[in-house]
Amino acid sequence: MAMTETYISIEDKLTEMFDTLPLMTNGIGGGATYKPIFGYGDEKELNAFLKMKEKGESPYPLIWLLYPYKENQTKNHVEVSNIQFILAVKSNMPMQNFERMQVTFKAILIPLYNNISYLFKTANIVNVSGDYDVIKYPNYSYDAKGAETFGNLVWDAMKIEFDIKIKNTCFKAQIF
């Protein structure tokens, strides 16, 4: 790993960028608007975050940076290969996948993904190399075998993975 002049905090840079994302509108049930919430950590941290949010504002739509990841700090930027984010909304278990695609994926999760992709494409401090790998998780929760899950609630979610380089310079806010 090359030595950087100053450590570049990925979390701080992402927080600054995600704060510029537009409100998300849920076209179902009155068109309520929600500000995307950004957090980061491993599954234990995610569970603590969700528990804390139970009594306050809704933590959805959620953008969660998954730990751990390996960073390469250089003189003027930081690089991460295979960085992973979870985009999630709380879901209604009785829905079938066709309804889920309409209500949560097409109405909220895919527009959120598009906004993030646009942000990374146009931001002056970010380079994304290659494509985004996307996995959809309809009706996502713990299973009886303890297979990979995120949080202790039922979600509709998308996991995105890609390579990113973030420069150590001032971020110019994007217009959506």
Which of 3-12, 104-113, 142-151 shows the lowest per-residue confidence on average (mean pLDDT)?
142-151
Q: What is the average per-residue pLDDT within 97-123?
A: 92
| Cβ neighbours of 102 (radius 10 Å) | 13
Contacting residues for 151 by C-beta, under 8 A, at least 6 apart: 43, 46, 47, 50, 88
Neighbouring-strand partners of residue 41 = 66
155-172 pLDDT, tens digit per residue, is 899 999 999 999 999 999
Do residues 52 and 39 lie in contact, with contact meaning Cβ atoms separated by under 8 Å? no
Q: What is the model's pTM?
A: 0.87
> What share of the chain in percent tops pLDDT 90?
53
In this model, does residue 30 exceed pLDDT 80? no
Q: Enter the tokens of residue 157.
A: 């979610």
pLDDT score, position 92:
66
What's the length of the chain? 176
Sign of the Cα pseudo-torsion (97, 33, 87, 135, in order): positive
Mean pLDDT of the chain: 85
Give me the pLDDT at residue 144, please: 47
